[in-house]
A and B are shown apart, each in its own frame.
Chain A
Amino acid sequence: MNPEETQAFEEKIYAFIGRENGPPKKGHDAVNEPMIRHWAEIMGDESPVYTDSEAAINSSKGGIIAPPSMLQTWSMEGYSMAGDFVQDVQRGLHNVFDEHGYTGVLGTNTTTEFFRDLKPGDEVTAHTVIDSISEQKATARGIGYFIETVTTFTDQDGEDVGRQVFRVLKFVPADGDASASSESTDDESPAAPTRIASPRGHDNGWWWNAIDEGKMLIQRCKNCQTLRHPPRPMCGECQSIEWDSIESSMEGEVFSFTTLHYPKIPGYDYPLCCAVISLNEGTRIVSNIVGIDHEDVTIGMKVKGNIEQVDEKTMLPQFYPAQAGE
């Protein structure tokens, strides 16, 4: 779409903001014990306040209540394939998106507030408003817009019993694949992504080659014996270009660390703890801290490293908390 077309499209979709999604929808059935029992069975929720009227009477609830998470079910319209497919305002909005190529749909998140427990006999009515539509966003799934609807649930007396915010992303599938609107059903699973490898050049390739063979080396000046890491072609102390290396003990302590949460790059597991480690030899190295909850990592903690195959293609030093007594 060119800027004018985008503007015209956005005018169309933003005109939906604030509109009611049709008249309030009253549930087909009042809150009732059989449906509560079915739900509790399927969910595996054995709380007696849902199914055991005697225990429920003696509980703080004073009688059987519906599981709060059933709130939305009491006003659901039923299976659309079994009855009339209602062309409500929200579907009209989705149609506008579909017509402009935003065919993908992804429920992103929902939050629900519960104002009181529902009891058998309560009648629930849902009243839904298209509350907001975001500006255009670039997401991992593709360019799109977040649509937020707010549903207010009321009882037979018109009192609010709950409120739900539901957010969906309508997007242009990044690969142009219209089937992105449903979950992927690829039977051919693509190769798992691997970690980004270091390029190997004259000044560093030898170090990574040694890692592949299970050894972590530290470069040493042949002239003044100063250790240096990361490797470089000349000694900063004496300017000698002659060097060899020693094998590291891979023992040391955490000098600083941070745990990464976002963005999540393919090939890495998050939360991902990265640390600057002071090796006992006196040089430092950046690596991962593994084998411990990231919240328990501290500066000064003693660590011990191994060289491990972390994915299909990658050998890498990984550091663990040192065992007590080591």
Chain B
Amino acid sequence: MNANIKDKAAIVGVANTEFSKNSGRSELQLAAEAVAAALDDAGLKPSDVDGITTFTMDTSDEIEVARAVGIGDLNFYSRVPHGGGAATGLIHQAVMAVATGMAETVVCYRSLNGRSGHRFSGGVSGDITTSDAIHWGWYMPYGLLTPASWVAMFTQRYMHLTNCTKDSLFEVAYTMRQHAASNPAALFYQKPFDRAEYNAQKKIVDPFQLYDCCLESDGASAVVITSTERAKDLKQPGVVIKAVAQCAAADMEVMTSFYRDEIAAIPSMDIAAQTAYSQCGLTADDIDAAIIYDAFSPIVLWQLESWGFCKHGEAHDFVMDGALRLDGRLPTNTHGGQLSEAYIHGVNGIVEATRLVRGTSVNQPGKTINHALVTAGVGVPTGGALLGTMDTL
């Protein structure tokens, strides 16, 4: 079953607020600023927008953002659950709305005071009263409370079964930081590290040390999506959505899918990748650059396998060849990623993927980028999108 969405919609505007440890203003204000800036980037007026998508986790209601920005009537609004797993889910919702005519122009946003407000590294607690409290109850009494600890459980198993070592975790974290070091918007601008500094960081959970773990930051990102027809008349070169897919694979738990036969892989992303490739006929060989969700260093490795850049279990060798670097096979996270630019739940990654296809990244690789991949957070139900230039229509 192939969804008929290929080439129906395009990203025409993107924006981030500045990233910081203390924004000094509300998440609603950050959202409004990012949305207004993305519309400005697109050369559109707020009144052109008739659809909005965001995260269920976002504290800024669509209608509040619409009122703040001066967006008029909304014909479409939708939210995607599962934390960072929603990143490309925003595109998923927007593209379906545009492709079916439910909306003409959709703006997607994510806004969080992830450092000065609620911090994800603090983990879950007995105070939560959501419907999945019982799920967390299987882990909280033992102290398995934090995102790092959940991902570490998969990582240790993966390292046990493959030749993956700290060398490839370092290579991922190091490369992201190199990119951030030359990105003035990144929180780690001009702060590269070497292996000795990486090794000297405090232990978080085995095998992770501090630099294997993403930032916590304040900021907002927004993306404007409209039809490819309309995109041709707009200010920026449109970035076509060739494919977008999401998946919650069988026997899924939020962050703790420990009960599958094998856990050294992420089947949700494997399936989302297959779905996306079959929507548009592209293969891994067609992808020139990637934005791969990097809340923790090893999750980049698994997604490289999911998207077919290397075989399952062989990501270590792939990245040790320098594939993720600007002159490598697959320049990855050229903004610095969630590890070193900012943690805006992957929506800053959609902004950067758009720039890569436009050719305007601050770390634009030397080669032509016709197609770029952008993925959402893993461990949760997840997804990804394949973007292309207007020339690929």
Q: Which residues of A contact B (CB under 8 A)?
A: 3, 135-136, 138, 195-201, 203-204, 208, 229-230, 255-263, 265, 268, 272, 274, 276, 283-284, 286-288, 294, 299, 314, 316
Contacts and interface: CB of A to CB of B under 8 A. Distances in A.
The interface centre, meaning the residue of A258, A263, A286 with most chain B CB atoms within 10 A of its CB, is A258
Contact of B203 (A136, A262, A276): A262
A205 to B, nearest CB: 9
Given A230-B259, A258-B155, A286-B258, 9 more contacts: A195-B141, A196-B125, A198-B137, A256-B258, A257-B156, A261-B202, A276-B258, A287-B142, A316-B142
Contact of B153 (A3, A208, A256): A256
B174 to A, nearest CB: 21
B216 to A, nearest CB: 10
Given A261-B203, A288-B142, A255 B125 contact: no
A230 B138 contact: yes
Contact of A262 (B140, B160, B202): B202
A302 B202 CA distance: 30
Contacts of B152: 258
Contact of B141 (A196, A256, A257, A262): A196
B364 interface: no
Contact of B143 (A197, A257, A268, A294): A268
Contacts of B202: 261-262
Given A199-B133, A258-B206, A274 B149 contact: yes
Interface string B96-121: 00000000000000000000100001
7 contacts: A198-B141, A256-B258, A260-B143, A261-B205, A262-B205, A286-B258, A299-B157
Given A201-B134, A299-B160, A256 B154 contact: yes
B7 to A, nearest CB: 39
Interface residues of B, number: 41
Contact of A284 (B125, B137, B205, B258): B258
Interface string B117-137: 000011101100000011111
B263 A256 contact: yes
A245 to B, nearest CB: 16
A196 B126 contact: yes
B152 to A, nearest CB: 4
Interface string B235-262: 0000000000000000000001011000
B145 interface: yes
Contact of B144 (A199, A274, A316): A274
Contacts of A135: 21
B204 interface: yes
A192 B126 CA distance: 16
A34 B378 CA distance: 65
Nearest to B140: A196
B126 A261 contact: no
B138 A286 contact: yes
Given A198-B138, A276-B153, A265 B203 contact: no
Contacts of B121: 263
A81 to B, nearest CB: 38
A284 B259 CA distance: 6
B286 to A, nearest CB: 35
Contacts of B258: 255-256, 276, 284, 286
Contacts of A203: 134
A45 B108 CA distance: 67
B143 A229 contact: no
Contacts of B204: 260-262
Nearest to B135: A230
B133 A265 contact: no
B128 to A, nearest CB: 9
A256 B264 CA distance: 10
Given A198-B140, A198-B141, A258 B153 contact: yes
B22 A299 contact: no
Interface in B144-164: 144-146, 149, 152-157, 160
Contact of B146 (A200, A260, A283, A288): A260
A84 to B, nearest CB: 41
Contacts of A199: 126, 133-134, 137
Contacts of B138: 198, 204, 230, 286
Given A203-B134, A204-B137, A259 B205 contact: yes
A138 B119 CA distance: 11
A94 to B, nearest CB: 24
Contacts of A260: 143-144, 146, 149, 204-205
B137 A195 contact: no
Contacts of B22: 136
B139 interface: yes
Given A196-B125, A284-B259, A272 B141 contact: no
Contact of A274 (B122, B134, B153, B263): B153
Contacts of B145: 196, 265
A257 B263 CA distance: 12
A201 B122 CA distance: 25
Nearest to A208: B137
